Structure 1
Amino acid sequence: MSETVPESRSNAAEFTVSEISGALKRTVEDVFGNVRVRGEISGYRGPHTSGHAYFALKDDRARLEAVIWKGTMSRLKFRPEEGMEVVASGKLTTYPGSSKYQIVIDNLEPAGAGALMALLEERKRRLAAEGLFDPAAKRRLPYMPSVIGVITSPTGAVIRDILHRIRDRFPLHVIVWPVRVQGETSGAEAAAAVAGFNALPQDGAIRRPDVLIVARGGGSLEDLWGFNDEALSRAVAASQIPVISAVGHETDWTLIDLAADVRAPTPTGAAEMAVPVRAELEATVAALASRLQACMSRRLERDRQAIRAAARALPSPDQLLGLKRRRFDEAESRLQRALEVGVERKKARLAAIRLTPAALSRRMNEARLLIGRDMARAQAAYFAVVRERRMRLGRAAGRLTPAPILRRQRLQADMLAALSRRGDQAISVRLDRLRARLIQADRLLTTLKLSEQAILERGYALVLDEQGALVRRAADIRPGQNLELRFADGAAKAVAGSGEAAPAEPARARPAPKPKDPGGQGSLF
Structure 2
Amino acid sequence: MSMEDAAAPNLPEMSVSELSGLLKRTVEDRFALVRVRGELSGVKRHSSGHLYFALKDADAVLDGVAWRNVAGRLKFRPEDGLEVIATGRLTTYPGRSKYQILAESLEPAGAGALMALLEERKRKLAAEGLFAAERKRPLPFLPQVIGVVTSPTGAVIRDILHRLADRFPRPVLVWPVAVQGEGAADQVARAIRGFNAIAPGGAIPRPDLLIVARGGGSLEDLWAFNEEVVVRAAAESAIPLISAVGHETDTTLIDFASDRRAPTPTAAAEMAVPVRADLLDRVEELGGRARMATRRLLVEHDTRLSGLARGLRHPRSLIEAGEQRLDDLAERLPRALRGLIADRRRQLAEVSGGLRPHVLTGELRQKAERLAQVSERLAPAARRLFERAERQLATPAQLLESLSYHRVLSRGYAVVRRAGKLETAAAALHPGDALEIEFADGRVGAVAAGDPPRRRRKTDLPPPEQGTLI
TM bin, normalised by shorter chain, reads 0.7 to 0.9
Distance 1:151 1:295 in 2: 47
Q: Name the CA shift for 1:330/1:377 in 2 (closer, same or farther; >3 Å).
A: farther
Q: Name the CA shift for 1:32/1:394 in 2 (closer, same or farther; >3 Å).
A: farther
Q: Name the CA shift for 1:348/1:403 in 2 (closer, same or farther; >3 Å).
A: closer
1:474-489 → structure 2 map (5 Å cutoff): none
**Length-normalised TM-score, structure 1:** 0.69
Pair 1:420-2:413 in alignment? no
What residue identity is the alignment partner of 2:94? P
Q: Name the CA shift for 1:350/1:149 in 2 (closer, same or farther; >3 Å).
A: closer
Percent of residue pairs identical? 51
Pair 1:198-2:196 in alignment? yes
Query: Paired residue for 1:117?
Result: 115
Distance 1:100 1:52 in 2: 18
TM-aligned CA deviation for residue 268 of structure 1:
0.9
Unmatched tracts of structure 2, length 5 or more: 1-6, 407-413, 434-449, 453-470
Q: Name the CA shift for 1:258/1:347 in 2 (closer, same or farther; >3 Å).
A: closer
TM-aligned CA deviation for residue 319 of structure 1:
1.7
1:64-75 → structure 2 map (5 Å cutoff): 64-75=62-73
Pair 1:365-2:364 in alignment? no
Kept after mapping to 1: 8 A contact 2:92/2:100: yes
What residue identity is the alignment partner of 2:294? M
Distance 1:199 1:392 in 2: 96
Query: Paired residue for 1:479?
Result: none
Q: Which stretch has the larger CA shift, 378-387 or 251-260? A: 378-387
* Bigger radius of gyration among the two: 1
Query: Paired residue for 2:222?
Result: 224
What residue identity is the alignment partner of 2:64? A
Tell me the alpha carbon deviations over residues 433-465 of structure 1, each in whole angstroms, 9 at most, x when there is no partner: xxxxxxxxxxxxxxxxxxxxxxxxxxxxxxxxx
Tell me the alpha carbon deviations over residues 205-237 of structure 1, each in whole angstroms, 9 at most, x when there is no partner: 333322221111100011011011012112222
1:247-258 → structure 2 map (5 Å cutoff): 247-258=245-256
Query: Paired residue for 2:458?
Result: none
Query: Paired residue for 1:169?
Result: 167
Distance 2:77 2:28 in 1: 28
Query: Paired residue for 1:134?
Result: 132
The match for 1:189 among 178, 187, 195 is 187
Q: Relative contact order (alpha carbons < 8 A, sep ≥ 6): 1 or 2 greater?
A: 2
Tell me the alpha carbon deviations over residues 95-141 of structure 1, each in whole angstroms, 9 at most, x when there is no partner: 22211222222322222111111111111121222222222332222
Secondary structure in structure 1 of the residue aligned to 2:43:
coil
Q: Name the CA shift for 1:347/1:32 in 2 (closer, same or farther; >3 Å).
A: closer
Tell me the alpha carbon deviations over residues 301-337 of structure 1, each in whole angstroms, 9 at most, x when there is no partner: 1112222222222222332132332232223223334
Pair 1:276-2:274 in alignment? yes
Distance 2:230 2:377 in 1: 99
Distance 1:306 1:148 in 2: 53
What residue identity is the alignment partner of 2:304? A
**Length-normalised TM-score, structure 2:** 0.76
Secondary structure in structure 2 of the residue aligned to 1:143:
coil
Q: Which stretch has the larger CA shift, 299-308 or 214-223? A: 299-308
What residue identity is the alignment partner of 1:17? V
TM-aligned CA deviation for residue 277 of structure 1:
1.5
Secondary structure in structure 2 of the residue aligned to 1:109:
strand
Query: Paired residue for 2:41?
Result: 42
Query: Paired residue for 2:141?
Result: 143
Distance 1:20 1:201 in 2: 65
TM-aligned CA deviation for residue 90 of structure 1:
2.6
Distance 2:35 2:377 in 1: 129
Distance 2:312 2:14 in 1: 132
Distance 1:112 1:299 in 2: 72
Distance 2:370 2:150 in 1: 108
Distance 2:302 2:64 in 1: 93
TM-aligned CA deviation for residue 407 of structure 1:
6.7
Distance 1:384 1:339 in 2: 64
1:330-479 → structure 2 map (5 Å cutoff): 330-339=328-337, 362=358, 365-366=361-362, 368-369=364-365, 372=368, 376=372, 390=386, 397=393, 403=399, 420-421=423-424, 424-427=426-429
Q: Name the CA shift for 1:68/1:400 in 2 (closer, same or farther; >3 Å).
A: farther
Query: Paired residue for 1:237?
Result: 235
What residue identity is the alignment partner of 1:103? I
Secondary structure in structure 1 of the residue aligned to 2:75:
coil
TM-aligned CA deviation for residue 399 of structure 1:
10
Secondary structure in structure 1 of the residue aligned to 2:90:
strand
Query: Paired residue for 2:13?
Result: 14
TM-aligned CA deviation for residue 404 of structure 1:
6.9
Tell me the alpha carbon deviations over residues 36-62 of structure 1, each in whole angstroms, 9 at most, x when there is no partner: 3322211113x2122222221222222
Distance 1:388 1:150 in 2: 110
TM-aligned CA deviation for residue 426 of structure 1:
4.3
Query: Paired residue for 2:31?
Result: 32
TM-aligned CA deviation for residue 370 of structure 1:
7.3
Tell me the alpha carbon deviations over residues 354-397 of structure 1, each in whole angstroms, 9 at most, x when there is no partner: 9xxxx997378358537736965995898699689959966994
Unmatched tracts of structure 1, length 5 or more: 1-7, 432-517, 521-525
Distance 1:367 1:71 in 2: 131
Kept after mapping to 1: 8 A contact 2:431/2:451: no
The match for 1:103 among 73, 81, 101 is 101
Kept after mapping to 1: 8 A contact 2:226/2:252: yes
Aligned length: 419
TM-aligned CA deviation for residue 295 of structure 1:
0.9
Distance 1:330 1:239 in 2: 84
Query: Paired residue for 1:326?
Result: 324
What residue identity is the alignment partner of 2:25? R
Pair 1:264-2:267 in alignment? no
Distance 1:388 1:302 in 2: 102
Query: Paired residue for 1:440?
Result: none
Tell me the alpha carbon deviations over residues 57-97 of structure 1, each in whole angstroms, 9 at most, x when there is no partner: 22222222212222332222221111212222333322222
TM-aligned CA deviation for residue 9 of structure 1:
7.3
TM-aligned CA deviation for residue 402 of structure 1:
5.5
CA RMSD of aligned residues (A): 4.1
Tell me the alpha carbon deviations over residues 421-440 of structure 1, each in whole angstroms, 9 at most, x when there is no partner: 46x44446999xxxxxxxxx
Query: Paired residue for 2:210?
Result: 212
The match for 2:303 among 302, 305, 323 is 305
Q: Name the CA shift for 1:255/1:371 in 2 (closer, same or farther; >3 Å).
A: same
Tell me the alpha carbon deviations over residues 262-281 of structure 1, each in whole angstroms, 9 at most, x when there is no partner: 21111111111222212112
